[in-house]
Amino acid sequence: MKTKWWIWLLGLMFGLVADALAETPAVTSSTWRGFKRLDFVVAGRPALLVVPKTPAAGKPWIWRTEFFEHEPQADLALLERGWHVAYVNAQDMYGAPRAVAIFDGFYELVTQRYNLARRVVLEGLSRGGLYAFNYAVTHPERVAALYLDAPVLNVHSWPGRNKDTPGGAKLWRELRECYGLSVEAAQNFKDSPIDHIDIVAKAGVPILLIAGDADETVPYTENGAILKKRYDELHAVCEVILKPGGKHHPHSLVDPAPILEFVLKYVRF
């Protein structure tokens, strides 16, 4: 199954990248939090780029993989430092191959047409962790660092642990459909981010992990703790800010200084 997954992904990826670059997207300009915002469409999906007032050398950028605008403290702090902030809507795709392919088209467009840095910081909040980590697995050479916040890294933890409840059953069905899995194949699924930690660690991608140790939605012990343990075993950088008694919300930090410090420490262009 894994071989078919990657063959299918590569074919889809090349097709979507070609489509994304074949036409110049119409761009709508507006303002977001005092910064210029550019909206356009990539592979049929809404996308945007927020432009700093004075771009930093090398045009660094942070890519929010889900929930744009939610707890944007780190994004705003980096914009003030001359970073671009990016987002493409691949909602309800659970980081599946088609989402990764859409991300490829978006990456090629913004790096070529807006001359952004070839290596990006991926920001994965909650289920956005699936997108961020799966993209890093597929293209570790494009990823300067990962900032993961209460991230989903194990689909058997979320949404799988609640698949027998009405709400959880809907999410689990959507995930199966996105990955093209039968009920039986989903039970034995081994392509969550936690199954590919070695690829990202061995590529030297540093990670900042923020989570609550009492998160009942995306339990830390089933997600972030596994990532941290394996990264430590491989002598790779994974810094953790664990919130005692913290639940799934709120994300980020009231003062984003530690996030900013991590990014500026490890990201070089």
CB 39: neighbour CB atoms within 10 A?
16
Q: What local confidence, expressed as pLDDT, does residue 268 receive?
A: 75
Amino acid at the residue 72: P
In the chain (269 residues long), the average pLDDT of successive 10-residue segments reads 48 54 76 97 96 97 97 97 97 95 97 97 98 98 98 97 92 96 94 97 98 97 98 98 96 96 89
Instruction: Give the pLDDT of residue 246.
Output: 97
Its pTM stands at 0.89
Range of the domain at 228: 2-266
How far apart, in Å, are the Cα atoms of 209 and each of 28, 185, 262? Answer: 34, 30, 10
pLDDT at 27: 95
> Can you give the CATH number for the domain in which 202 is found?
3.40.50.1820
Provide the sign of the torsion angle of the four alpha carbons 133, 139, 140, 146, taken in this order: negative
Alpha helices in 81-223 (DSSP H): 97-113, 128-138, 166-179, 183-187, 197-202
CA distance 217 to 220: 9
* Cα 250 to Cα 73, 118, 126, 166, distances in angstroms: 12, 31, 11, 25
**How many Å apart are CA 159 and CA 191, to the nearest integer?**
14
Q: What amino acid occupies position 101?
A: A
The count of domains in the chain is 1
Q: Please give the pLDDT value at position 11.
A: 58
Instruction: Say how far apart CA 204 and CA 142 lie, in whole Å.
Output: 12
Q: What is the pLDDT of residue 24?
A: 65
Cβ contact 225:242 at 8 Å: no
pLDDT score for 19: 52
